[in-house]
Amino acid sequence: MSRAKPPTVDVRRMSHEDLLDVIDLYAVPGAHPKWDMAALLSQLACFPHGQFVAEHRGTGEILGAASSLILTEAAAPKSGPWLDPCARGDFTGHDPEHGAVLWAPSLVTVTEADWQDTAIALDDARRALAERLGMTAVLIPVRLSGSGGSALNAPPERFAKSVNAGKVAEPLLRLLLKQGYILQGALVDADAVSGTVTQEAHVAVVAWRNPHAGKRWLDRHATHFLQPDVDSL
């Protein structure tokens, strides 16, 4: 598994100046959930260190974005609508005081052929944050857009093998499994704004377990870390 950051992509914390570009990313067909301006502003206010953008090193173009918040193991959904912990996109369930897992509900990229490089760079940033905060895991819900929904009835190991072999057409899920994530379960798809189930779709939940859990390079309880105007990680 290679986690080297692509030379043309830089990942940094999202800023308010990025929001119009990020909204454009979420507006492309297939992007899900589709965060609006109110949701993005709330996410930045609740957990600025957990929201990332990837930009082209030469042009500064925003190539992708990713979100995350801290949850307790109990709050991480195991059934029902998977967006419930996100408070319909507001991230008001962010719990740095008691949380131990980084819940990463969205990752979106431009749709060029090299989207995988951008996705890997964004995922690396979230895993690095989880390590610095001593989180036990990064959990990612991946909406299944192809044939994966019906295939989820198979045992997790068989389903994961089918995805890795390309027999189930789920590119993002396949990429994450190749990056070391383990298929953990399945949830119900829900609308990002209303919180209601809008179609018969499934979400596969994958987990990356932090081998250094409990060792913190940053104090997630420290006041200076929680301030939205602090830009260092």
pLDDT tens figures, 28-41: 877 778 889 999 99
What is the pLDDT of the chain when averaged over all its residues?
A: 79
> Which three-class secondary structure state does DSSP give residue 119?
helix
Which segment of 43-52, 67-76, 94-103, 155-164 scores lowest on mean pLDDT?
155-164
Cα distance between residue 76 and residue 179, in whole Å: 21
Question: In this predicted model, what pLDDT tens digit does every residue of 166-223 receive, in sequence order?
Answer: 677 788 888 999 999 998 877 766 554 444 444 446 788 899 999 888 765 555 544 3
Q: Could you give all domains of the chain from N- to C-terminal order, each with its CATH number?
A: 9-226 (3.40.630.30)
The beta-strand segments (E) located in 6-90 are: 9-13, 52-56, 62-71
150/131: higher pLDDT = 131
Identity of the highest mean pLDDT range in 104-108, 110-114, 221-225: 104-108
Mean pLDDT, rounded, for 36-48: 94
Asked if 39 and 90 count as a contact pair (C-beta separation under 8 A), the reply is yes
Measure the CA–CA gap between 206 and 186, rounded to whole angstroms.
Answer: 9
pLDDT band at residue 156 under the 50/70/90 scheme: low
Supply the pTM of this predicted model.
Answer: 0.80
Q: For 139-148, what is the mean pLDDT?
A: 74
Question: Is it the case that residue 112 has pLDDT exceeding 50?
Answer: yes
Whether the per-residue pLDDT at 147 is higher than 60: the answer is no
pLDDT, greater one: 171 or 125: 125
Instruction: Return the closest-CA partner of residue 168 out of 160, 156, 178.
Output: 160
- Burial state string for 94-130 with b = 16 or more CB within 10 A and e = fewer than 16: bbbeebbbbbbbbbbbbeeeebbbbbbbbbbbbbebb
Residue type, 212: H
| Angle, helix 37-46 to helix 19-26, in steps of 10 degrees | 120
Residue 219: the pLDDT is 52
Q: How confident is the model at residue 27 (pLDDT cuts 50, 70, 90)?
A: confident
- Give the pLDDT band (50/70/90) at residue 144: confident
Residue 227 has pLDDT above 50, yes or no: no
Greater confidence (96 vs 193) lies with: 96
Residue-level pLDDT at 217: 54
3-class secondary structure, 95: coil
- What's residue 184's pLDDT? 84
